[in-house]
Structure 1
């Protein structure tokens, strides 16, 4: 029986960007599947008590800068700490990922390229032309996908993902859930890998 990782993320998250390719490598190595749940992070915060970045205490904002620099070095990724288009609205990109996930499209590859567009290439993932170009590069038929990404049906799914995330115990991006056990942050990927390797029973809150 194939084990499955539930992956809660938004494509505007630098930490999800830093962990994305590592997650894919772990899943392939351990024979695990991935269910993709792009989420509106603001909606997740409102349900779980989180704060948008500008509203956080200066000490928390400063620590975020340190972590981004540390993990950029560890992951050996060309992360731009001050991208030209951040913050920006990730809704179109996130909803495009939902459409690809539901249709069996190349959602992992799309996410990889959308992350790079923002955090390496200084492109605006709120721009339809940027998303369209990524779909072109992947050989995905962009017309139907973009129309679906804008549909009320997919926007409703996007909103529901925030509810599902909070019910699963996810409160940020990225969060990986394995057999109900929450792993928050790409810096917990080693622990996720160990849990997959051992096949141990999931830990539960006390």
Structure 2
């Protein structure tokens, strides 16, 4: 059985056909606490199976029914906070219950998301530089509160602490949100378009060969699918520079 909408989204009742290659993509909100909690675990899965984590920063996909937290009913917001507290405690992550710089104003998280995209384009999909930069921004929001993650100078400080070169800092950690010719801006928009077509609404969403797994509590399923593909003879996808 399939469900379709005007955007031609198709949810499969069975997994996609086996492929000789495996892709592991993470569509996530940079400021999502659930994405922070899932980041180390999805990286561990990737390492176990020789995969590369392809970071795809996005915002909530309202076209598919995604609802921003502050737009939800108060009862849902209260339960969200309780569930987050329980999960962070279970995973041993000392998250702040009410971070100083969250939620950020609309249209500002693009700055961090596009910087992550540029760093990934420079260093490659699955690179330690891109993964660490993304994770440290997330920790800045929910754990350390070291500064406003919508401030380019705060992001540059994080980038330097992650060991990025000064060239990368000056060229990649910049505010080009209004520049339609910028590769980071273009990829940011493509990520959103892809998310709409995949049927993604909330984040994080882990996508294995086009099959979506919503939420860090679905990472066991992600690993199950990766293991199934590996056992069927599939190999990790190879990425070129700028991918």
What is the TM-score with the length of structure 2 in the denominator? 0.76
Residue 169, structure 1, aligned to residue 199, structure 2 = yes
**Bigger-Rg structure (1/2):** 2
- Measured after TM superposition, the shift of residue 2 of structure 1 is 5.2
> Does structure 1 residue 126 correspond to structure 2 residue 153?
no
8 Å CA contact 1:96–1:149 kept in 2: the answer is no
Q: Distance in 2 between matches of 1:65 and 1:116?
A: 17
Match of 1:12 among 31, 43, 50: 31
Q: What's the CA shift string for 1:59-81, capped at 9, x where partnerless?
A: 22122112101110121111111
Partners of 2:83 and 2:49 in 1: CA distance: 27
Question: What SS does the aligned partner of 1:177 have?
Answer: strand
Q: Which residue matches 1:62? A: 78
Number of residue pairs matched by the alignment: 198
Question: Are 1:117 and 2:147 an aligned pair?
Answer: no
Unaligned runs of 5+ in 2: 1-19, 233-243
d(CA) in 2 for partners of 1:2 and 1:163? 23
- In the alignment, is the contact (CA less than 8 A) between 2:115 and 2:174 conserved in 1? no
What is the alpha-carbon distance in structure 2 between the residues aligned to residue 109 and residue 96 of structure 1? 13
Per the alignment, in what secondary structure is the counterpart of residue 34 of structure 2? helix
C-alpha distance in 2 between matches for 1:136 and 1:158: 23
Partner of 1:75 in structure 2?
91
Calculate the aligned-residue CA RMSD, in Å: 1.8
For structure 1, the 5+ residue unaligned runs are: 202-206
Indicate yes or no: 2:103 matched with 1:87: yes
Q: Give the match for residue 196 of structure 1.
A: 226
Q: Which residue of 1 aligns with 2:237?
A: none
CA contact (8 A) 1:7 1:34 kept: yes
- 1:38-57 deviations in Å (ceiling 9; x for gaps): 1132xx22x11122212112
Q: Which structure features the higher share of helix residues?
A: 1
Structure 1 residue 102 and structure 2 residue 121: aligned?
Answer: yes
TM-score w.r.t. length of structure 1? 0.89
